[in-house]
Amino acid sequence: MPENKQDKITPYRGGVFSDLVNRIKLILRLMADSRVNPLIKIIPIGSLVYLLFPDIAPGPVDDAAIIWLSTYLFVELCPPEVVEEHMAAIRRTIPGQWQESQFVSEDEIVDGEFRDEQ
């Protein structure tokens, strides 16, 4: 008999557009990270250059395939620990809500007043 396992249901997190935005954020963060090999950083740059120049095959399907393949390869070729670190930072960010900086301690916060002088 199969065991009765409780399936964990993950909450819906926004769908395709949310995943696309997170992928773009990840790629931008990895491009700025010095731990990623500069030769690997050529992959997303090359795919953007491909979009700028007219190509032989008509239509957007080949462009979308090149972009998808290049983003997939770029993330897969980056060091896994660096990718996980950036993904964790992206997951911690809640869209539309204030997030305090991790670099400011409570001792450095200044309390003040705002005056509207017209």
Ramachandran quadrant class, 15 (left: phi over 0; alpha: psi -120 to 50; beta: rest): left
Would 117 be classed as within a structural domain? no
Domain span at 32:
15-91
Would 33 be classed as within a structural domain? yes
Question: Could you tell me which of 21, 118, 29 has the C-alpha nearest to residue 78?
Answer: 29
Residue 2: exposure state from Cβ atoms within 10 A (0-12, 13-18, ≥19): exposed
Is residue 24 over pLDDT 50?
Answer: yes
Q: What pLDDT is attached to residue 56?
A: 64
Would 84 be classed as within a structural domain? yes
d(C-alpha 6, C-alpha 17), whole Å: 29
Would 54 be classed as within a structural domain? yes
Instruction: Please give the average per-residue pLDDT across 44-69, as a whole number.
Output: 81
Would 6 be classed as within a structural domain? no
Which run of H or E residues covers position 90? helix 80-92
Within 10 A of 61 (CB to CB), how many other CB atoms are there? 9
Is residue 66 over pLDDT 70?
Answer: yes
Would 25 be classed as within a structural domain? yes
Is residue 81 over pLDDT 70?
Answer: yes
Would 75 be classed as within a structural domain? yes
pLDDT above 70 as % of the chain: 64
Domain count, the chain: 1
Instruction: Please give the average per-residue pLDDT across 68-87, as a whole number.
Output: 93
- Give residue 35's pLDDT band: very low, low, confident or very high (50, 70, 90): very high
Instruction: Please give the average per-residue pLDDT across 22-43, as a whole number.
Output: 94
Q: What pTM, to 2 d.p., does this model score?
A: 0.62
Would 57 be classed as within a structural domain? yes
